[in-house]
């Protein structure tokens, strides 16, 4: 199975949200990373057929998704970011409704609903109205509905946004369970969410793919560009101003800084093994810094 994005563009008046994106995706988990406004959600909406590209096309196994119509959508599972629920439906009713929208017959719908509610640990509250659910419970219900039709393409847009660390770990495990033999595109700006489960990393900036690499080699570009240095507490401000500081750790009266830089920030700085977060910071610089202050990063 091949999902191809061919010269995909989305133009909003003066802003180009997605700019000539090309990719060929085969089964695996793709972590789509980018700062807010990078074009991730627009790209995912186009892949899901709910937003028309300004130009370019999306093809599944060589056939455009417009041409495939219902046949394409039957392969698709989508969990949009912050999508709403029907507050007066119970979780079970919501799942059965979504199963009907996805074209499952009644028997299969019931079986899948019970199985998935069990998987996401909502079976005990399945008859409660969704409006009484917490954010985490709603997110779990969201991924359960995306998985109803055994999709071979699973699109998850910021699935862990707003979850506490425990919920996020649980969520990552769920996604891993669901991901087998599928094309999974997982968008996030929380790097640690993808570092554990992604096979490939797609990095997006200003509507374009900055890089697309297997997880094992994605950090190779910045080998020798991640540094650690132990400095005096009073020097922190100066280093933060001049370099991209990934991490800051107090050790007695000193501070250990982790810095991403093409050149050594100081003579006594030592290179360390780069991480995905270092890569993210390397490419997104101040955008990433501001998001780090907004979001929990572990």
Partner 1 sequence: MLIKYEFLKILRKKSTIIVMAASLLLTAFLFGLPILQYQTYIQDGVIKGSEGIAYTKDQYQDISVPITDEYVEKTITEYQKLFENPDNVGYDGNEKFLIGNAYWNFVAPREKQLSMIASAYDSPGENSGFNKLPELDLANGAKFYQARNEKVESLLNTPSRELSTQQKEYWSNMSSKVETPLQYGYHEGWEIIMSSFELLMFSLLSACIVIAPVFSGEYQAGTDAVILSGKYGKTKLVTAKIISSMLFGVLAFTLHVIVAFGLPLAAFGADGWNLPLQVAGLTIPYPFTFLQATLINLGVIYLVLLAMIGLTLLLSAKMKSPYLVLVVLVPVLFIPLFLSPNGTTGAYNLTLFLLPYRSVMPEIGKYVSYQIGGLVLDALSMRAILYAVLTAVMLPLARLGFKKHQVA
102 binds partner 1 (CB under 8 A): yes
149 binds partner 1 (CB under 8 A): yes
- Tell me the sheet residues that pair with 209: 204
Among 1, 24, 36, 103, which residue sits at the site for partner 1 (rule: CB under 8 A)?
A: 103
50 binds partner 1 (CB under 8 A): yes
**DSSP letter assigned to residue 97:** H
Among 79, 186, 245, 269, which residue sits at the site for partner 1 (rule: CB under 8 A)?
A: 79
In 3D, which of 220, 273, 279, 197 has the Cα closest to residue 246?
279
Which residue number, 31 or 77, has a Cβ lying nearer to partner 1?
77
137 binds partner 1 (CB under 8 A): no
Residues in 255-284 that interact with partner 1 by CB under 8 A:
none
Give dist(CA 95, CA 194) in Å, integer. 27
Among 30, 78, 239, 282, which residue sits at the site for partner 1 (rule: CB under 8 A)?
A: 78
76 binds partner 1 (CB under 8 A): yes
Give dist(CA 274, CA 227) in Å, integer. 9
Which residue number, 10 or 172, has a Cβ lying nearer to partner 1?
10
Kindly compute the dihedral angle of the four CA atoms of residues 64, 106, 82, 87, in this order, to the nearest 10 degrees: 150
83 binds partner 1 (CB under 8 A): yes
Q: Which residues contact residue 270 at a Cβ distance below 8 angstroms, ignoring those fewer than 6 apart?
A: 227, 228, 229
Among 18, 48, 231, 245, which residue sits at the site for partner 1 (rule: CB under 8 A)?
A: 48
- CA terminus-to-terminus distance, the chain: 34
98 binds partner 1 (CB under 8 A): yes
Which strands make up the sheet holding 208-214, listed edge to edge?
76-79, 153-157, 183-188, 28-34, 200-205, 208-214
Segment near partner 1 (CB under 8 A); pick from 45-53, 240-248, 251-259, 265-273? 45-53
Segment near partner 1 (CB under 8 A); pick from 100-108, 171-179, 213-221, 278-286? 100-108
Which residue number, 1 or 106, has a Cβ lying nearer to partner 1?
106
Cα radius of gyration rounded to whole Å, the chain: 21
DSSP for 144-198, please give it: HHHTTT--SEEEEESTTTT--HHHHHHHHHHHHHHTTTSEEEEEES-HHHHHTT-
CB count, 10 Å around CB of 249? 11
Which residue number, 146 or 257, has a Cβ lying nearer to partner 1?
146
Binding site for partner 1 (CB under 8 A): 45, 48-52, 70, 73-74, 76, 78-80, 82-86, 88-89, 93, 96-98, 100-103, 106, 145-146, 149
């Amino acid at each position: 199975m091949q999902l191809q994005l061919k010269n995909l563009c989305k133009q909003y008046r003066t802003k180009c949200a997605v700019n000539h994106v090309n990719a060929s995706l085969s089964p695996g988990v793709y972590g789509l990373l980018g700062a807010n406004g990078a074009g991730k959600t627009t790209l995912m909406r186009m892949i899901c057929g709910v937003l028309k590209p300004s130009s370019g096309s999306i093809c599944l196994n060589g056939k455009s998704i417009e041409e495939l119509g219902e046949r394409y959508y039957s392969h698709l599972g989508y969990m949009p970011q912050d999508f709403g629920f029907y507050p007066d439906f119970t979780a079970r009713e919501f799942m059965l409704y979504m199963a009907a929208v996805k074209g499952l017959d009644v028997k299969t719908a019931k079986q899948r609903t019970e199985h998935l509610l069990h998987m996401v640990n909502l079976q005990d509250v399945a008859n409660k109205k969704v409006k009484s659910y917490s954010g985490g419970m709603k997110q779990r219900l969201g991924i359960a509905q995306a998985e109803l039709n055994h999709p071979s393409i699973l699109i998850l847009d910021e699935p862990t946004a707003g979850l506490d660390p425990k919920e996020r770990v649980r969520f990552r495990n769920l996604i891993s369970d669901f991901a087998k033999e599928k094309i999974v595109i997982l968008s996030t700006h929380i790097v640690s969410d993808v570092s554990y489960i992604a096979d490939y990393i797609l990095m997006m900036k200003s509507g374009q793919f900055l890089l697309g690499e297997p997880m094992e080699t994605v950090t190779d570009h910045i080998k020798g560009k991640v540094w650690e240095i132990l400095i005096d507490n009073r020097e922190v401000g100066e280093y933060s101003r001049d370099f991209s500081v990934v991490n800051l750790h107090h050790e007695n009266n000193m501070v250990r800084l982790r810095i991403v830089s093409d050149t050594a920030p100081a003579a006594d700085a030592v290179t360390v093994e780069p991480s995905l977060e270092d890569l993210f910071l390397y490419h997104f610089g101040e955008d990433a810094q501001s998001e780090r202050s907004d979001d929990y990063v572990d």
